[in-house]
Chain A
Amino acid sequence: MECQECHIRPATLHLTNVVNGQKTEMHVCEHCAKENGYVSYGQEGYSLHNLLSGLFHMNPSTVQGHKHFSQAPAALACPKCGLTYNEFTRIGKFGCASCYETFEDNLNPIFRRVHSGNTKHEGKIPKRMGSGIEKKRKIAAYRESMQQFIQEEEFEKAAELRDKIRLLEQQSDEQEEGDS
């Protein structure tokens, strides 16, 4: 989604603007949010806390005129630990593993910001749940290169990969049946 102010940068801030009970959504980039005073940042870059509150939690002093911003899922609470979305944005920390699921829809912009655009884990996998995930990663990688080969009309190589994928998929099916 592109920023509705500059139409250049991607919109990373999704604000809900409530005027006289009328809700309108705003999708802007960080630059425009800052320019228009929707959010405020410190002089020396910003701490994560500022970042989180900047992303989701409008500081009333910086909101222009009569505009009032509120975030939609504020009351959302984690069923396991009870942390609300509001608290999460205020303290900038998760309360338990289930918080990740509960707030899933709002996490990508945060992770992107903190981890240079990354949202997906690429590293170590716990030994105990390892083999299944590794297989999935392998299949995804094979699929990608298979598409590449098809585009380059290297059908023999693509077929080779297709067979490998089938083999891997069969293995994981058998494993799942064995598990249940």
Chain B
Amino acid sequence: MSLENFMSDAISPWMKENGPDCDIVMSSRIRLARNFENRTFPLIAKAEDLDDVLDFFQESYQDADFNDRGKLQFLRIADLSPIEKKVFVEKHLISPHLAEHAEEAGVLLSESEQVSIMVNEEDHLRIQLYLPGFQLRKALSEAFEVDDWLEQKITYAFDEERGYLTTCPTNVGTGLRASVMMHLPALTMTHQMNRLTPAINQLGLVVRGIYGEGSEAQGNIYQISNQITLGKSEQDIVEDLESVVSQLVEQERQARETLTEELSIQLEDRIFRSYGTLRYSRIIESKEAATCLSDVRLGIDIGYIQDMPQSILNELMVLIQPGFLQHYAKRSLSGRERDVLRASLIRERLHLENN
């Protein structure tokens, strides 16, 4: 496979489009948790019950047309190779939990990979909808369309008092997890994230790294999401998150301005050193690569580096993950082999831009 083809595989088609504030907000995601009314939740359900659910999805939705999104594809996770599973996780199409419970799990994907519906995750359905940039409200209304469409064939577990009933008490009510992926290099460099994170937590929002709970902010990318799902409408949840994200966008812009004004030459030096590392290194670990990519992306955003697309960070952040490297190599690789392949793929990718 050529690198170009492989790259186009590495990022979902929806990610190639630009969205509002996409210099800072990389993507917006809405997730809705839903369950069947009369079935035991996946956590303790018998294998045959879970198979029933998979069969139902296969029959009802394989190749179904959903509005203008083209045909949906239903995949059983058990049919994926271990490396493919990793790739799906690294592309955020499925959760690590789903990959681990592969025997009875599935995923329904839209062509652009913008809609992914996980089946038999912790809940029977986890509807995920992604949009590029900062577009939470639009993502919510589109996720509702998917929800309404699925509901034509499924009776959801719902209670007037408690709302949508979920396996975990932390999801009950709306079942909604709204989140954004933000690139916050200037706030991190100026050590402001340490101060901001507790303040954000106090507002009932969660801040974490790019690959989920407990993961550190690789490449200065943070995921910010709501925690409360009960007692607030979906619109209010999304608006509350939006207002915090808007403030963060503003603060990041200010921090970038301050940095370029006061530390111009140091910042430029750091960015170009990172650029050099990516262009010329022969061995690179994922953590270093992520840090350098973040610097280069910042360099593109503030105009130090030209003729390089912003999307390079989104692309390469996925590409440098272990699953993807092995997918590319079509075999499993040792740590050192991965570091060598990572360096060489990054060099080639940057080279593509300079031709």
Contacts and interface: CB of A to CB of B under 8 A. Distances in A.
The answer to whether A binds B is: yes
Interface of A: 48, 52, 80-81, 83, 91-97, 100, 107, 110-111, 114-129, 133, 136
A155 B164 CA distance: 39
B174 interface: yes
Contacts of B35: 97
A118 B44 CA distance: 27
Given A96-B41, A116-B204, A48 B170 contact: yes
Contacts of A116: 204, 228, 231
A115 B230 contact: yes
A96 B158 contact: no
Nearest to B32: A124
A103 to B, nearest CB: 10
B214 to A, nearest CB: 11
B8 interface: no
A141 B254 CA distance: 44
A122 B232 contact: yes
A93 B168 contact: yes
Contact of B161 (A96, A115, A120, A127): A120
B17 interface: no
Contacts of A118: 173, 228, 230-232
Contact of B165 (A92, A97, A110): A97
A86 to B, nearest CB: 14
Nearest to A125: B158
A127 B231 contact: no
Interface of B: 35, 37-41, 43-44, 122, 144, 147-148, 151, 155-170, 172-174, 176, 204, 228-234, 236-237
B159 A123 contact: no
A123 B232 contact: yes
B44 A123 contact: no
A124 B174 contact: yes
Contact of B233 (A119, A122, A128): A122
Contact of B158 (A95, A107, A126): A126
Given A48-B168, A48-B169, A129-B158, A97 B233 contact: no
B106 to A, nearest CB: 20
Most chain A CB atoms below 10 A, which of B43, B44, B147, B156: B44
A91 B176 CA distance: 22
A122 B230 CA distance: 7
A123 B233 contact: yes
Nearest to B173: A121
A81 B44 contact: yes
Nearest to B160: A133
A119 B231 contact: yes
A126 B230 contact: no
A83 B44 CA distance: 9
B225 to A, nearest CB: 15
Contacts of A93: 41, 43, 122, 167-169
Contact of B174 (A81, A92, A114, A123): A123
B156 A126 contact: yes
Given A97-B165, A110-B169, A111-B230, A127 B148 contact: yes
A135 to B, nearest CB: 12
A129 B158 CA distance: 9
A175 B174 CA distance: 27
B44 A95 contact: yes
